[in-house]
Chains A and B, each alone.
Chain A
């Protein structure tokens, strides 16, 4: 099967600032893909280029089998887009918003009727059809916005920071909806800076300063980075341990989690060195365990400027 999206050597410059720096990737049809990165990493710019909203400075993109530069209208017919900016009209009712987006996407009367009840159902808006959108809580609005973005059954759905600003419960509900769409066969591309959300994706692309620094499935990435020098020190005196290890120049980072101290070292196999440091300082009761890296650990490591401790 042809990939849903293919990007080659994609670059976007705003003046002297390079927002996206010659990235290349392919996205398989039917997957949930997450673009993870801090604000300004280039995720949204990438999405906007793929949607045809921004022209790339250079590079080639194929979306749903069409060259974005040559056939933007073909691309548009096959994609849905929801952005971090609120896409609904707050001064229209729920129903009017759906009718409007159905109209601009060229749905027939019957299709619109079907989709209207579908959106109302999945967005949990039964009985709220005639409420003004501005009166809806944020979580409902976001589900409605997603519903409006997929009224025309797009093959690929782009969601640019769809969950920014909502609480975890609402976020989980939103991801259930994404899962449902994916189950219907759509390819879903989500940008987020919440690393927890990366776990919901089948594939993630971590971006940093306009480049893709890590690309793979969450398990694959974790496996790839399993030998990161990451340790967990179980102790009764976490604060003391923390103060101790932080002074060591070869420890790049340390953090306290309850009775544990997480330590991130610069080199491999410093268990003995750690042991020595702690014993020397008179801490008797401790246990050093090699820890498996979380996606957050990997992201922090990959985006850390060389030679400086991160601020976690």
Chain B
């Protein structure tokens, strides 16, 4: 039993060693993805270009402008000459937002009256627009409270200690860096590719070439063939996980807060299930293209979209939310984030681990039943 598995494993290893294309893909894809997602896929909205239409042109209006540009959220994009030019200013991409300060701004402020300030936003990217709106609101509310306090102060009423003092403290990812949130998802994504697509293609390739027929003529069983093959991809997937974790530590300061053992166990359980999916796909398909297509459609795509890698599950339509319960990626990602970012222990995440365990038992069992009945 063990020797047969070792024979298959060694053969698979020797083949992979010579297959420069696959080998470089296995190493390059995780690295490239880490760089892409780490640097390019950034949800942090900073340095928004803000145009100014200041009709007031007073000390007070300049103070208001200053409130925006003293933060790292806004950069000065230029002055807009008049109201008619605002549309074009945004359309030409000169600014993402334009702040309009009315002519009577200073007067109204000094009189202690309410004054309207307008902000026009480029809503083409709704996510960014929403975030920018939040910044604007925060800055304006804060400043407006200051103005009120100052106005009352000048009239002998001191309220500086009254009201609510807002002091947020962000847990787990204090700098609110997207990379920290993305890295666990990325690990899941890369493991999906390595553990589903590669073994499926490796088996189907042997079907295509006819070599599988010859191995199955030998006294070696299908189970031994599968174990020999999957062991290699298991090892490779683990290596990729280590690679991504170390690289994200170096590049993005992502550290593992929780237990490394728990992280490893979670990854292993997840891999057993996903390797099973890969093998299962190989029993249904007969060409490498087909195997690749099915493997990507069934695994990578839903994982990318429906597992909470980028898009939060909570904000999906209800039917889609229900679908996510059948995707191992959903549980894996949330377990990984909990362990890596929050430092959660088994007690906190067992509700995520159990479904993964079920996947790890059911899928390989189904694959082996199918194999023993129908062969590859």
Contact A105/B211 with A89-B11, A91-B18, A91-B19 known, Cβ cut-off 8 Å:
no
15 extra interface residue pairs, beta carbon distance < 8 Å, beyond A83-B210, A85-B213, A91-B15: A77-B219, A87-B211, A89-B15, A92-B15, A96-B11, A100-B7, A100-B10, A103-B4, A103-B8, A103-B11, A104-B4, A104-B215, A105-B218, A106-B3, A106-B4
Residue A231 lies at the interface, judged by CB distance under 8 Å to chain B: no
B217 CB–A CB distance under 8 Å: yes
19 contacts between A and B (CB under 8 A): A53-B217, A73-B219, A76-B219, A81-B214, A83-B213, A85-B209, A87-B210, A87-B211, A87-B214, A99-B7, A100-B7, A100-B10, A101-B218, A103-B3, A103-B10, A104-B8, A106-B218, A106-B219, A149-B214
Q: Which residue of B lies closest to A154 (CB)?
A: B217
In Å, the complex CA distance between A16 and B216 comes to 28
Q: Which residues of A contact B15 (CB under 8 A)?
A: 89, 91-92
Q: Please measure, in the bound complex, the distance between the C-alpha atom of A7 and the C-alpha atom of B7, giving whole angstroms.
A: 34
Is the interface on chain A under 10, 10 to 19, 20 to 34, or 35 or more residues?
Answer: 20 to 34
A104 contact from B14, B213, B220, Cβ within 8 A: B220
Contacts of A83 in B (CB 8 A): 210, 213-214
The 7 A-B residue pairs with the shortest CB-CB distance, nearest first, are A103-B7, A85-B210, A104-B218, A104-B220, A87-B214, A100-B11, A81-B217
Q: Tell whether A53 pairs with B213 under 8 Å between CB atoms, given A92-B11, A96-B11.
A: yes
Contact check: which of A86, A103, A106 meets B210 at CB < 8 Å? A86
Asked if A51 CB lies within 8 Å of chain B CBs, one says: yes
Please classify how large the interface on chain B is, using the bins under 10, 10 to 19, 20 to 34, 35 or more.
20 to 34
Residue of A nearest to B3 (CB): A103
CA distance A149 to B220 in the complex (A): 14
Residue in A83, A86, A91, A92 with the greatest tally of chain B CB atoms within 10 Å: A91
Q: What residues of B have a CB within 8 angstroms of the CB of A52 in the complex? A: 217
CB distance from B211 to the nearest CB of A (A): 6
Q: Which residues of A contact B209 (CB under 8 A)?
A: 85-86
Q: Name A42-82 residues within 8 Å CB distance of B.
A: 51-53, 73, 76-77, 79, 81-82
In the assembled complex, which residues on chain A have CB atoms less than 8 Å from the CB atom of B6? 103
Q: Is the CB of A96 within 8 A of B14?
A: yes
How far, in Å, is B217 (CB) from chain A's closest CB? Answer: 5
Closest Cβ–Cβ distance, residue A33 to chain B (whole Å): 19
Chain B residues within an 8 Å CB radius of A105 = 218-220
Cα A105 to Cα B217 in complex, Å, equals: 9
Shortest Cβ distance from residue B271 to the other chain A in the assembled complex, whole angstroms: 25
Least CB separation from B220: chain A residue? A104
For residue B215, which residue of chain A has the nearest CB?
A104
CA distance in complex: A124, B210 (Å): 24
CB distance from B58 to the nearest CB of A (A): 78
B126 to chain A, nearest CB (A): 50
Residues 1-42 of chain B, each 1 if its beta carbon lies under 8 Å from chain A, else 0: 001101110110011001100000000000000000000000
CB distance from A135 to the nearest CB of B (A): 12
- Residues of B197-251 contacting chain A, CB below 8 A: 209-211, 213-220
CB pair B216 A53 closer than 8 Å:
yes
Min CB gap A262→B, angstroms = 40
Contacts of B213 in A (CB 8 A): 53, 83, 85, 87
Instruction: Report how far A86 CA is from B10 CA in the complex, Å.
Output: 21
Q: A85–B214 Cα gap in the complex (Å)?
A: 10
B350 CB to closest chain A CB (Å) equals 41
In the assembled complex, the Cα of A100 lies from the Cα of B219 at a distance in Å of 13
The docked-state distance in angstroms from the alpha carbon of A81 to that of B218 is: 9
Min distance, Cβ B254 to any Cβ of chain A, angstroms:
37
Which residues of B lie under 8 Å from residue A106 when comparing CB positions? Answer: 3-4, 218-220
Contacts of B219 in A (CB 8 A): 73, 76-77, 104-106
Instruction: Specify which of A77, A88, A105 lies most central, judged by the most chain B CB atoms within 10 Å of its CB.
Output: A105
CA distance A77 to B217 in the complex (A): 9
Q: Which residues of B contact A104 (CB under 8 A)?
A: 4, 7-8, 215, 218-220
B8 neighbours in A (Cβ, 8 Å): 103-104
| Residue in chain B with minimal CB distance to A145 | B214
> From B4, which residue of chain A is reached at the shortest CB distance?
A104
Q: How far is the CA of A103 from the CA of B215 in the complex (A)?
A: 10
Q: Which residues of B contact A88 (CB under 8 A)?
A: 211
What per-residue 1/0 map shows which CB atoms of A117-139 lie under 8 Å from chain B? Answer: 00000000000000010000000
